[in-house]
Amino acid sequence: MQALRALVREFPSALLGYSGGVDSAFLAVTMRQELGKDRMLAVIGRSASYPDAQWQVARQVAIQFDIPFTEIATHELDDASYLANPSNRCFYCKTELWHRLVPLAAERGEKALLTAAAKRAERWKKILLEASQQCRRVRVPVLGELAKAESIFSASKNGLRVMLSERAMATPLRRILEGQRTTRVIMAIGPEGGWTDAEFEAARSCGFLEASLGRLILRTETAVIAALASLNYALDRE
């Protein structure tokens, strides 16, 4: 218990997927005690698959222990994998909740992210330089300023524009790259949890093609490596 409290105290802030069950309620109370009301938020995902009785309990516990909470709509019933009712169906409802939490966390943590990015910029530049030297790269990649995804999309005017996506409807990247002769590619690779619906729409309106790296969902840093390797193989004419 002491180890948990010590770990929670290290968080600058926390967003908790909260169902009112024993585990999430225990963690919510611990976070409330260690972080205070201003540094944590419990989030209840509401859908037809979430029983009203459990929703009532979740709210009562939050009110009793003065836990700040909010509610968001989740749509796991739109997922055919969830509707098939497999033994791991909880994976799909938790994945849906996580997908909805990401933009909320980004919105609440934007100021903290700006502060952290400024502090880490010099370290990132050093990594870029060292990695370039190791790879015998003549040109060192440039670390740009932190900006919202929508502004980056609209500023990307020239070249092939591709947005990596985990959605089943996305076109395979290899198909998009077939026959391409471009020398410039703008590749948008999203955060853990995926892009929001608004970001998908903003990218589409700016000419980005939605592309998939395959059925497996990769971590962001792994997706970057896989995408760059694919681009190098498909477009390198030397």
Which tokens is 196 given?
């929001």
Higher pLDDT, 140 or 107: 140
| CATH numeric code, 2-108 | 3.40.50.620
Which whole number is the average pLDDT over 78-91?
83
pLDDT, tens digit, for every residue of 15-25? 899 988 899 99
Secondary structure of residue 45 in the 3-state scheme: strand
pLDDT of amino acid 114? 59
Percent helix, strand, coil in the chain (nearest 5)?
55, 15, 35
Largest CA distance in the chain: 67
pLDDT in tens, 22-36: 999 999 999 999 999
Give the pLDDT band (50/70/90) at residue 91.
confident
Strands of the 160-164 sheet, one edge to the other: 171-172, 209-212, 160-164, 185-188
Question: Tens digit of pLDDT for each residue in 134-180?
Answer: 888 878 888 888 788 888 899 888 889 999 998 888 999 999 998 88
CATH of domain 147-238: 3.40.1280.10
Specify whether the CB–CB gap between 168 and 191 falls below 8 A: no
Q: What local confidence, expressed as pLDDT, does residue 65 receive?
A: 95
| Contact partners, residue 51, CB within 8 Å, separation at least 6 | none
| Predicted structure pTM score | 0.56
Cβ atoms < 10 Å from Cβ of 166: 18
Average pLDDT in the 201-217 region? 91
Each domain of the chain, given as residue ranges in start order, spans 2-108, 147-238
Residue range 174-201: average pLDDT? 86
DSSP 66: T
Interatomic CA distance for residues 108 and 113, integer angstroms: 10
Flag whether pLDDT at 211 surpasses 80: yes
For 74-114, give the DSSP string: --GGG-HHHHT--TTHHHHHHHHHHHHHHHHHHHHTHHHHH
Calculate the alpha carbon distances from 217 to 46, 190, 193, 206 in Å: 25, 12, 10, 25
Whether residue 63 is predicted with pLDDT greater than 90 in this model: the reply is: yes
